Chains A and B, each alone.
Chain A
Amino acid sequence: AQKVTQAQTEISVVEKEDVTLDCVYETRDTTYYLFWYKQPPSGELVFLIRRNSFDEQNEISGRYSWNFQKSTSSFNFTITASQVVDSAVYFCALSDRGTNAGKSTFGDGTTLTVKP
């Protein structure tokens, strides 16, 4: 069975602070994909990044960076120099092949508030 845990329910930071959102996952499959989505108040889930289970190379894209560690089943997301516009709910998601095709399992989300 798949499971995604986002232990942080809410995080509040002041603008320009760095913030890391945690994600821990469980799956029995050896091939799987991990995602981060952002949901602003408008409601639409916006895709941020996807990583497959064979690619542990971490990446930096602008103010965003990701830390994928299979050994600890974690896929953490960091925003550097946060901005007010980063305020949103962030979801970590997991999907795999086979019987779970077309289905992603989402964590409960972390609400990030960035104060000016």
Chain B
Amino acid sequence: KAGVTQTPRYLIKTRGQQVTLSCSPISGHRSVSWYQQTPGQGLQFLFEYFSETQRNKGNFPGRFSGRQFSNSRSEMNVSTLELGDSALYLCASSLLASGTDTQYFGPGTRLTVL
């Protein structure tokens, strides 16, 4: 079974631009969560989608948004990029969304904001 895939793997943007990251979950998984990983803040939860609905959201500004499609693929968007948005963005999928399922992570998208 193919794992979680994320595209692109690397991105370089400049301040003020916007970016869209994509995540394809493991086949059959309906829940997709996004995390931001930085050296200073560690792994922080961004949001979680289940059946095209955002069920949970972390403490991030409104510049961070996401969506999930009917095939469970998910995208996250960051508008008006800031230097502090440079991070590894990890996507995780799980079968259900009960909070009890194991999350399986993709390789991440490394975003650099100049």
Give the interface size class of chain A.
20 to 34
Known contacts A100-B56, A102-B50, A103-B58, A35 near B97 by CB under 8 Å:
no
Which one, B33, B43, B105, B107, contacts A102 given CB within 8 A? B33
User: Quick check: A96 and B99 within 8 Å, CB to CB?
Assistant: yes
User: Quick check: A42 and B100 within 8 Å, CB to CB?
Assistant: no
Give the interface size class of chain B.
20 to 34
Chain B 5-41 near chain A by CB (<8 Å), digits 1 or 0: 0000000000000000000000000010101000000
Which one, B45, B49, B55, B97, contacts A104 given CB within 8 A? B45
User: Quick check: B99 and A101 within 8 Å, CB to CB?
Assistant: yes
A102 vs B49: C-alpha distance in the bound complex, in angstroms?
8
How many A-B pairs with Cβ below 8 Å? 72
CB distance from A57 to the nearest CB of B (A): 18
User: Quick check: A105 and B45 within 8 Å, CB to CB?
Assistant: yes
User: Quick check: A44 and B48 within 8 Å, CB to CB?
Assistant: no
Q: Which 5 A-B pairs have the closest CB atoms?
A: A102-B48, A45-B105, A106-B43, A101-B99, A44-B107
A contact residues vs B (CB 8 Å cutoff):
31, 33, 35, 37, 42-47, 50, 52, 91, 95-109
B contact residues vs A (CB 8 Å cutoff):
31, 33, 35, 42-43, 45, 48-50, 55-56, 58, 88, 90, 92, 94, 97-100, 102-108, 110
